Homo-oligomer: A and B are copies of this chain.
Amino acid sequence: MALWIQISAGSNEPIYMQIVSQISEAIAKGEISAGQKLPAMRKLAAELVINPNTVARAYSELEQAGLITTKTGSGTFVNDPKLRTIDAANINILAERMDSIVARGINLGINASDLAAMFRGRVDSFINKSQKREKENERDST
């Protein structure tokens, strides 16, 4: 378990957001499992050569999103996916973001079928990794 997070300083995306995105996606893909401990804020900050407050900001966002839980003195841990609840407001935000992508894709000249297929492909790549992980975990615990 080393350092899977890569930040690019030249990006227009804020550093704390890059961290949020990468950890979010890692959790969705099952690359980090429930209960697992994330790197300590100071350590991660040192490895990425950024300020600890920036990491704290990222972890704070992730906690607010319900993905992790921080315990003072102990560390930061990934939540159990089963605890997550589907909120209507979040669904709406997701729908709006989808609309934005759909408009962008169509305006780029991509037809409807290709666009849907593309999205399906991205979903599958998440699920495949997630299922791989589950198998590995089963084998490990055996």
Please report A residues at the B interface, Cβ cutoff 8 Å: 21, 24-25, 27-29, 65, 67, 81, 84-87, 90-91, 94-95, 97-110, 112, 115-116, 118-120, 122-124, 126-127, 130
- B127 near A112 with CB under 8 A, answer yes
Give the complex CA separation of A115 and B125 in angstroms: 13
**Given A95-B122, A122-B98, are A28 and B103 also a contact pair (CB < 8 Å)?**
yes
Partner of A126, one of B106, B119, B122: B106
Most interface-central of A81, A84, A112, A119 (chain B CB within 10 A)? A119
8 pairs from A and B in contact (CB 8 Å cutoff) = A24-B104, A28-B107, A84-B108, A94-B104, A94-B108, A94-B118, A99-B122, A112-B126
Q: Taking the nearest CB of chain B, how far is it from the CB of A113, in angstroms? A: 9
